[in-house]
Amino acid sequence: MAGVTLRSVRKAFGSVETIHGVDLDVRDGEFVVFVGPSGCGKSTLLRMIAGLEDVTAGEVAIGGRVVNDVEPADRGTAMVFQSYALYPHMTVAQNLSFGLRMNGNPREDTERRVAQAARILQIEPLLGRRPRALSGGQRQRVAIGRAIVREPEVFLFDEPLSNLDAELRVQMRVEIARLHGELGTTMIYVTHDQTEAMTLADRIVVLRAGRVEQIGRPLDLYDHPVNQFVAGFIGSPRMNFLAAESLGGGRLRLTGQGGAEIALPAAQGLAPGQRATLGIRPEHVLGAGQGECDLPLVVDVAEHLGATSYLYGNTKAGEPLVVQAGAARGAHAGDRLTISIPAARAYLFDPDGRRMT
Amino acid sequence: MARPDRSGHGGDPSSVVLSNPAPESPPMRRRTGTAYGFLTPYLLIFAVFWIWPILYSFWLSFLATRQLPWTFRPAMTWGRLAQDPAFLNALENTLLILVVQVPVMIALATVLAVLLNSSLLRARGLMRFAFFAPVVVGEVAYAAVFRLMFTADRGIVNKVLEAAGLPAVDWFSDPTAAMALIVMAVTWRWAGYNAIIILSGLQSIPDDVYEAATLDRVSPIRQFLFITLPLLRPVILFCVVLSVIGTMQLFAEPFLITNRGGPGGATETLGVFLYRQGFTVLNFGYASAVAYTIAAIAVLISLLNLWLGRERA
C-alpha cells in the first residue's frame, strides 16, 4: 500500500496547458475522488498518475518514490476504465489472468488471485463467459477484478460507473465502497457526478480548468465551500445564487428581487454599492415569514419524489430558484408562493466568486 | 489476391438486419407493387444477362460442343477434367499461387496496416492512398510496366540484381522465375488494398484495450500477437476469402505479363485455361465445366477458411 503525492504537476498538449500546477497528498489507504465538470483535467491527472500521460512539469510520487520516468506497469497502480477496456476475445477468467500470465507469474498464484478476485466481486459463475455475454454491471465487475488481481498499491478509477444505468450505478457505488473497506488500498476515483464523490470519498478534490479549487472531506466542502464554483458544484440540486448589492453596515439589497433586503454578518466587509452574490441551498429555504427575507416565487416545475419535493421556479427578476419543499409539499406548477431566506444559512460570495465570511 | 466485390454483396455480414415483416395491409401491398414496378427493368436485364447465362452454362457443361449437333455427353466435359493434364497443370499452378501468394500477401498487408496506423507515420493520408493506388491502375497498363521492368536484358530489376553482384534472371523463360513474377505482381497490386481493409479493422480496436495491456506489463509485440491479431481475425478472414476467390479467377497477370500462361504453360492458371478452352478452342461445354469447377473450389476453400476461423465458444 502506498500514498500518492503530486507536486506542482503540470500537463501541456503542445502549447496548450491543461493542468496548471496541482499539489496533492493522498494518504495511504485513503479514498480520494477527483470531481469537476467535463474538461477540468481530472481524467488527465489520473492518467498522469497511471503513467498513461507524460508529466510536463512537476513530480508524481507513489509510496514516496518519484515515478515520472517509471513505466506504467511498474508504478504499482491498477486502473479501471470508463469503457471497461476488457479484452473482447478472452473469457472473464482469461481477462483476469492475462497480465499475470504474460509476465510469467506462477500458475498456482495466478489461479489463486483470479479465484480470490472472482469471490470478492461475486463473478465466479461468469468466469467462462466472454465480455459480450455480460451485462454492463458484470463487465464493470470484471474490469475491477482485473485491477484486483494485480494486487496494486493504488487503485485508479476513471469514471467507472458512467456507462451504467441509474440503479446499477447506486449498487456498484456501494460495492466499490465495500471493496475499499475490504481491501483498504489507496483509491483515486474520477467522476463528474458529485453524488458519487460525496458518497464514496474520504476526501474530495474539486477541479476546474486544470486547477484545484478545494480539497476536503465531503461535508466540509458542502458546508464550507471556499468559492461559488465549489458551492455550486457540490450539492444536488445545486445552491441557488441571487444577485446582491451592499447597502453598507452588513445589509444587502437583492437586486433582482424588487428591493428585498437582508442583513448578513458576512456582508460587513462590503462597501456600500459593492456587488456580491448570495447563495442559499434548496433545503435551507423556508416558508413565508420563517426567515429574514421573504421573496415571491412562481413554480415552473414541481418534482414530488415522495420523501421530498423540489420546486423549480423563477423569482420576480427571472432568477431561477430551487426549493426543497418540506412545507409546500402540495405545491404544483403555476402556484405562486412566498418563500423566506434564513440569514444564518445564507452564503455570500464577492464579485470574484470567493466566499466571504 | 483480393478483388473488389463486384456483386455488391461485400461488407460485414454481421451488419445484415433481420426483419420479420408483419402481414401487409392493402396500401402497403400497393406500395410494394409500385416498388417492383420500378425494379422490373433491372430484374429483366438481371434475368437475361445474369441468371440465364449461369443456368445455360450449367447445361452446356454436360454437352459435347466440339462438333454439331451438340450432344449430352458429360464424359467429354466433367469426365475429362480428371484426366486432362493441361487442366491439372492449370489447377496445380493456381493452387500453388494460392498457397504461396495469399498468406504472404495477407501477412504483408497486416504489417502494412499496422505501419499505416502508426502515429509516428508522417503524411498518413498520402501513404494510405499510395498503397491503395495499384488497385486503381488499369490491368493492361500495370502488366506492361511489369513486363518492361522484368525484361531480361533491359529491365530495371535485372539491372539492380547485376549491380548487387547477383546473376540476371530470365523472368519470362524460366518457369520458376515466371511463377515468382506472377506472385510478386499480384502481391504488389492487392497488398495495399487488403491493408486498407485491415486498417479499418485496426482502427475499430479501442485504444484503452492497449492501455489496459500496457498497465498489465504486456510488451507491444505481445499486444500485437495476443490482442491485435485475435481481434483482427474476422477482418483478416474476410480478406483471405476475397483473395481466395480472386486467385481462383486469376487471369490478367498470367495472360498479360507472362504471355498467356507461359513459358510452356508454367504460369497457366485455371482462368487462362478456361479462356483458352472457351475462346481459342471454342469448346464451350468443357469451358463451362471448368468454370463451375473454379467456382466450386473457391466456395469450398472459402468455407474451409470460414470454418477454421470460426469463433469458438
Residue at which a domain ends, from A233, A262, A287: A233
**B215/A79 Cβ within 8 A:** yes
- How many residue pairs from chains A and B have C-beta atoms closer than 8 A? 59
The confidence score (pLDDT) of residue A327 equals 56
Chain B residues touching residue A99 (CB < 8 angstroms): 213, 215-218
Instruction: Indicate whether A202 and A295 sit together in one domain.
Output: no
Question: What pLDDT score was predicted for residue A105?
Answer: 92
- The string of pLDDT tens digits covering residues B50-71 is 999 999 999 999 988 877 888 8
Residues A272 and A221 in one domain: no
Helix, strand or coil for residue B5?
coil
Q: Which of A257, A331, A347 shows the shortest CA–CA distance to A294?
A: A257
Tell me the CB-side half-sphere exposure of residue A152, using CA atoms within 13 A.
31
**Which residue in A109, A79, A111 sits closest to A94, CA to CA?**
A111
Is residue A162 domain-shared with residue A252, that is, in the same domain? no
* Percentage of residues of chain A with pLDDT beyond 90: 70
Shared domain check, A50 and A199: yes
- Rounded to the nearest angstrom, the minimum Cα separation between B237 and chain A is 15
User: What was the pLDDT predicted at B48?
Assistant: 94
Does A99 contact B208 at a Cβ distance shorter than 8 Å? no
Nearest CA of chain A to the CA of B216: how many Å? 5
Closest Cβ–Cβ partner in B206, B211, B218 for A99: B218
Give me the domain span that covers residue A176.
4-233
> Is A320 found in the same domain as A220?
no
Distance CA B137, CA B142 (A): 7
Distance CA A225, CA A194 (A): 14
CATH number at residue A138: 3.40.50.300
Residue A249 identity (one-letter amino acid): G
- pLDDT attached to residue B4: 43
What mean pLDDT is predicted for residues A323-335?
79
- Predicted confidence at residue B5, as pLDDT, reads 41
C-alpha cell at B200: 479499418
- Which three cell numbers, joined as nine digits, stand for A106? 506462477
Residues A174, A179, A185, A189, CA torsion sign: negative
Give the CA count within 13 Å in the CB-facing half-sphere of B204. 14
What pLDDT band is residue A172 in, cutting at 50, 70 and 90? Answer: confident
Asked whether the predicted pLDDT for residue A120 surpasses 90, the reply is no
Average pLDDT over every residue of A209-225: 95
For an interface test with A, the pick among B119, B205, B214, B216 (most A C-beta atoms closer than 10 Å) comes out as B216
CB distance from A150 to chain B under 8 Å?
A: yes
CA B88 to chain centre: 20
Phi, psi for B263 (deg, rounded to 5): -80, 130
The chain-wide mean pLDDT, for chain A, equals 91
Same domain, A215 and A73: yes
* Regions of chain B where pLDDT drops below 70: 1-24, 312-313
Among the partner residues A50, A87, A99, nearest to B209 by beta-carbon distance: A87
Q: Where are the domains of chain B?
A: 84-308
Mean pLDDT in chain B? 87
Torsion of CA B284, B290, B291, B293, to 10 degrees: 150
Residue A221 corresponds to which cell in the numbers above? 466542502
What would the DSSP string read from start to end of B119-181? TT-SSHHHHHHHHHGGGTS-HHHHHHHHHHHH-TTT-HHHHHHHHTTPPP--TTTSHHHHHHH
pLDDT attached to residue A229: 96
Output the CA–CA distances (angstroms, integers) from residue B64 to B80, B81, B87, B288, B293, in the order listed: 11, 13, 17, 11, 17
Average pLDDT over residues A78-107: 93
**Cβ atoms B210, B152 nearer than 8 A:** no
Instruction: Please state, in angstroms and as integers, the Cα–Cα distance from residue A288 to each residue in A324, A328, A345, following that order.
Output: 14, 10, 16
- What confidence tens digit (pLDDT) does each residue in A283-303 have? 999 888 898 999 888 899 999
Helix (H, G, I), strand (E, B) or coil at A270: coil
Task: Specify whether A59 is located in the same domain as A157.
Answer: yes
What length does chain B have? 313
| A309 in Cβ contact with A303 (< 8 Å) | yes
pLDDT value at A179 more than 50: yes
B276: its cell numbers: 483458352
Q: What is the pLDDT of residue B1?
A: 42
Please give the pLDDT value at position B120.
83
**A268 CB within 8 Å of a chain B CB:** no
Whether the Cβ atoms of residue A346 and residue A262 lie closer than 8 Å to each other: yes
Are the beta carbons of B214 and A77 separated by less than 8 Å?
no
Number of domains in chain A: 2
Last residue of a domain, one of A233, A256, A279: A233
In angstroms, rounded to a whole number, what is the distance separating the alpha carbons of residues A162 and A233? 18
For residues B229 and A157, what is the distance between their CA atoms, to the nearest angstrom? 28
Q: CA nearest A72 in B: which residue?
A: B215
Q: Are residue A155 and residue A216 in the same domain, yes or no?
A: yes
Of A233, A260, A292, the one marking the end of a domain is: A233
Pairing of strands A240-248, A275-280: antiparallel
Q: Does domain B84-308 have CATH number 3.20.20.60?
A: no
**Interchain CB distance below 8 Å, B214 and A150:** no
User: Measured on CA atoms in the order A124, A125, A128, A129, is the torsion positive or negative?
Assistant: negative
Predicted pLDDT of residue B12: 42
Residue A199, pLDDT > 70, answer yes
- Between CA B292 and CA B77 the distance in angstroms is 11
* Other Cβ atoms closer than 10 A to A30: 17
Q: Do A83 and B206 touch (CB under 8 A)?
A: yes
Nearest to B209 among A71, A77, A85 (CB): A85
The whole-number pLDDT of residue B312 equals 63
> Strands A286-287, A336-341: parallel, antiparallel or unpaired by DSSP?
antiparallel
A299-328: average pLDDT: 83
Q: Check A146 against B231: CB less than 8 A apart.
A: no
Cis peptide upstream of residue B41 (ω within 30 degrees of 0): no
CB–CB contact B211 A89 (8 Å): no
pLDDT at B18: 47
**Per-residue pLDDT tens over the stretch B113-126:** 999 998 888 888 88
DSSP symbols for A295-351: EEEEEEEEEE-SS-EEEEEE-TT--EEEEE-STTTT--TT-EEEEEE-GGG-EEE-T
CB contact under 8 A, B212 and A73: no
CB neighbours of residue B163 within 10 Å = 8
Predicted confidence at residue B11, as pLDDT, reads 39
Shortest distance, CA B209 to any CA of chain A (angstroms): 5
Number of other residues whose CB lies within 10 A of the CB of residue B71: 12
| Amino acid (one-letter) located at B294 | I
Residue A102 touches partner B, C-beta closer than 8 Å = yes
Burial of B216 (0-12, 13-18, 19+ CB in 10 A): buried
| A99 closest CB neighbour out of B208, B209, B216 | B216
| Burial status of residue A107 (CB atoms within 10 A of its CB: 0-12, 13-18, 19 or more) | exposed
Residues of B in contact with A73 (CB under 8 A): 214-217
Give which of A103, A114, A142, A159 to mutate to test B binding, by max B Cβ within 10 Å: A103
Same domain, residue pair A201 and A290: no
How far away is chain A from the Cα of B113, in angstroms, using its nearest Cα? 21
Residue B70: what pLDDT? 81
The rounded distance, in Å, linking the Cα atoms of A51 and A78 is: 11
Neighbours of A330 (CB within 10 A): 10
pLDDT exceeds cutoff 60 at A321? yes
Q: Shortest Cα distance from B188 to chain A (angstroms)?
A: 32
Q: Which amino acid is at A172?
A: M
Q: Distances in Å between the alpha carbon of A212 and those of A24, A40, A203, A234, A248? A: 9, 9, 13, 14, 33
Could you tell me which residue, A346 or B4, shows the higher pLDDT?
A346
- Fill in the DSSP letter of residue B282: -
Interchain pair A81, B208: CB under 8 A: yes
Å between B217 CA and nearest CA of chain A? 5
Separation in Å, CA of A77 to nearest CA in chain B: 8
CB of A254 within 8 A of CB of A262? yes
* pLDDT on residue A198: 93
Confidence of residue A328 (pLDDT cuts 50, 70, 90): low
Chain-chain contact of A73 with B206 (C-beta, under 8 angstroms): no
Chain B residues contacting A, CB < 8 Å?
A: 206, 208-209, 211-218, 222, 226-227, 230-231, 233
Cβ–Cβ gap B231/A78 under 8 Å: no
* A102/B231 touch (CB, cutoff 8 Å), yes or no: no
